[in-house]
Amino acid sequence: MLLKKLKIYNYKKFEDFSLDFDNNFSIMIGNNGAGKSTLLEAIHLALTGTVNGKPIFYELSPYIFNGKIVNQFIEEVKVDNKITPPETKIELYFSESEDSDLNELIGIENSENINLPGFVFSIKFNEHYREEYQQYIENGNFIHIPTEYYMVEWKSFAGVAITTRSIPIKSHLIDSTTTSLAASSQKYIMKIISDVLDEKQKANLSVLYRSYKEKFGEDPNIASINDVLNEKKNLMLDDTRNLSISLDVTQKATWESAIAAFLDNIPFDYIGKGEQNVIKTTLSIGNRKPNRNLILIEEPESHLSFSNMRILLDKIISECSDQQLLITTHSSFVLNKMAMENVILLGENRSGKLKQLPKDTRDYFQKLPNYDTLRFILSKKVILVEGPADDLIIQKAYFHKYNKLPLDDGIDVISVNGLSFKRFIDIAKLLNINTVVVTDNDHDYEKNINNKYRDYIGGTIKFCFSTNNELNTLEPQVLKCDAGNYDKLKIILGKLDKSEDELLEFMLKNKTDWALKVFLNSEIQLNYPEYINDAIQ
């Protein structure tokens, strides 16, 4: 069984949203506010009926609805106060399967009218409260949807009312970025542990826990405490009744709420956040129960060092072959390591699936996952350069012209190995990223640039280079593009006794050092090569 499609209507930032899932695991990326967390939350809500660890019925608020739809309704109700308030819908479509548990979900009662297993989760107006609602509307101005008059409903694509218990696919949401105030990490990990145990093991724990609770009340020390309490029973309204303390032995007092998890004899709440993250994640993905096969992970890199993040990702990859996994991340390493064909980009102005990248480019980043691909993908405009010296000189030239750095204008200067240009340009071409490529001509601009990048020139991609093959790289370009630069560079670099050739040799051997001195110098302004000026236009 596989979640194949998600459709969200009128839930938080999503007005009308649809997303297809093609693989057993997907990595979702996007800028802050793109809706990554909300997307995971919506899936988990539809499958479990809970949000923030609580039943949705108790968490209903006007803020679950999309702002645009709410404003539109408020304007319409001023004209016609009989219209029904808007509803929230989350549709989950599953792949066809021989699993008999899915048969009851098959039907065409969905927004696409296709015959597949699935269900619709709705937060909708309850007609039972129509009279009260009309009175509320007629009382005048209001700015929020009255969720007091709403109900929650699940219906299969067969049009039959169902509950979360009858949904064969279950989910587990692991949010490594926050710790819920409503439920401690101890309760959270105990819930995961409960999911891992089989029914016999849980029954044995319940019996054992009940026996210990009963013994507690029989202890002589507890009996003497209860005698003291009974001396105060005259303070109660009915002084014939006895006041005592004991442990709750009712069904609601379960072992999960009382037994604690320990790591090396340290309570789970008191170990590091990184270790908590790893344990929660690995226990969840290691659970092989057939009714628990959709794992939702929010930023697995949170609280983890680079080495531990790498170990955790290896575990996730190796252990999740038979479970569906959805991950959100802000880490380029996670994006690259988990394979780019699984990456889904979310954003209002730019979205898509990176599986459309050439296979050799996807493989390149997976084998060399340290490249900052996520930074590149999420940038509004990028200047790609070949190394730190180019980066510093581009930024200095930009500051010289505009009295501010490129990033102040939303332009990201990213240094990558020249051999990696094509890989990043593949991404730029697919996602229409406004990209300027600043590159050396390496003594033959026709061969090394025009011919090499023939299929990429144009559109949102601009190449800036020198057509002077004698000046093959940045250092001779800066030194010789203007007659006055030689004397200026001697002063900036503290090499007053160097000839032009000797100064060039120094710059070539100390690429970052000379560029950094130019960048930090605020008194002497160089003139910059034409292709550098072209790049910062």
Closest CA to 450 of 471, 469, 432, 473: 469
Domains and CATH numbers, the chain: 3-168 (3.40.50), 185-330 (no CATH), 379-535 (no CATH)
pLDDT given for residue 286 in this prediction: 64
The angle at the Cα of 112, spanning 108 to 117, to the nearest 5 degrees, equals: 45
Answer yes or no: are the C-beta atoms of 439 and 465 closer than 8 Å. Answer: yes
pTM for this one?
0.77
Answer yes or no: are the C-beta atoms of 297 and 313 closer than 8 Å. Answer: no
Those residues of the chain that have pLDDT short of 50 are 179-183, 237, 251, 291
Q: Which residue has the tokens 């990223």?
A: 433
CB atoms within 10 A of CB 243: 14
Helix (H) / strand (E) containing 464:
strand 461-464
- Cα–Cα distance, 363 to 365 (Å, whole number): 6
Answer yes or no: are the C-beta atoms of 168 and 101 closer than 8 Å. Answer: yes
Tokens read off for 46: 């539809």
- Cα–Cα distance, 94 to 92 (Å, whole number): 7
H helices within 329-473, ranges in order? 332-337, 359-367, 373-377, 388-402, 421-431, 445
Helix (H) / strand (E) containing 154:
strand 150-156
- Helix (H/G/I), strand (E/B), else coil: 281: helix
- Cα–Cα distance, 299 to 432 (Å, whole number): 26
Q: Which residues in 58-69 are b (16+ Cβ under 10 Å) and which e?
A: eebeeebbbeeb
Treating both helix axes as pointing N-terminal to C-terminal, what angle do 500-509 and 511-520 enclose, rounded to 10 degrees? 100
- In this structure, the strands spanning 88-94 and 352-353 are unpaired
The angle at the Cα of 478, spanning 477 to 482, to the nearest 5 degrees, equals: 95
Amino acid at 353: K
Question: pLDDT tens digits, residue range 201-243?
Answer: 877 877 887 777 777 777 888 888 878 777 765 655 455 666 6
- Cα–Cα distance, 517 to 507 (Å, whole number): 11
What are the Cα distances from residue 392, in Å, to 9, 413, 459, 476, 492? 47, 9, 27, 16, 15
pLDDT given for residue 220 in this prediction: 86
Closest CA to 105 of 62, 151, 39, 155: 155
Q: What is the largest CA-CA distance in the chain?
A: 108
Amino acid at 75: E
pLDDT given for residue 187 in this prediction: 60
pLDDT given for residue 490 in this prediction: 96
- Cα–Cα distance, 120 to 111 (Å, whole number): 9
